[in-house]
Structure 1
Amino acid sequence: MERTAPGPLHLRRIDPARNMRRFYTLSLQPTLFGGATVIRNWGRIGTNGQSMMETFDQPEQAEGAFSRLARTKRRRGYGDAGVNGNG
């Protein structure tokens, strides 16, 4: 039975008092060789931001990195886009 990989995750952190309007996007893409790539995109809302790709030999390793990054960003105040006025 095939597992489903987590879908794209769109997070935002908006703090008007600090003039902060940031986004953070995570997604998983399979590679041609059976691995997976975690694609990160971040920056100020309204810009293209920056991107980083990290490739793993095993999809499970990529899923672990995806979950770890999402947990870290949520701990730092990022929330799901479109929830609680963040979108």
Structure 2
Amino acid sequence: MPIHSYHLYCQRIDASRNMARYYDLSLQPTLFGEIAVMRSWGRIGRAGGEKSEVFSSDQQAISHFLELVRRKRKKGYAPVGAGRQGE
């Protein structure tokens, strides 16, 4: 497991398009010593999708995490404090 905690909660809000979305991304250890990239997304205030991907090395998981962050930032998602969905 990485020494540092990796967690990102971001939102994309555009009132002119009636868009209010969130994306929550984190790294979590598994019971078998692997590391999982956990993500959830959807409309703010509603249930959304969830997905987890397991990696055998920290390096692979962190690389994937950072690639997902890059993609979301490119689409206009912006980090929001330490909050979570529905707060």
TM-score by length of 2: 0.85
| In structure 1, C-alpha distance between the alignment counterparts of 2:22 and 2:58, rounded to whole Å | 25
The share of aligned pairs that are identical, in percent, is 46
5+ long unaligned stretches in structure 1 = none
Cα pair 1:5 1:63 within 8 Å, conserved? no
Q: Which runs of 4+ in 1 moved over 3 A?
A: none
Cα pair 1:34 1:58 within 8 Å, conserved? no
| In structure 2, C-alpha distance between the alignment counterparts of 1:3 and 1:31, rounded to whole Å | 13
The answer for the alignment partner of 2:37 in structure 1 is: 38
SS of 2:32's partner is coil
| In structure 2, C-alpha distance between the alignment counterparts of 1:80 and 1:3, rounded to whole Å | 21
State the 1:6 CA deviation.
Answer: 3.8
State the 1:60 CA deviation.
Answer: 1.0
Counterpart code for 1:71: R
5+ long unaligned stretches in structure 2 = 82-86
Counterpart code for 2:71: T
TM-score by length of 1: 0.85
State the 1:3 CA deviation.
Answer: 4.7
SS of 1:33's partner is coil
CA RMSD of aligned residues (A): 1.8
State the 1:7 CA deviation.
Answer: 2.6
Q: Map of 1:63-78 to 2, 5 A cutoff?
A: 63-78=62-77
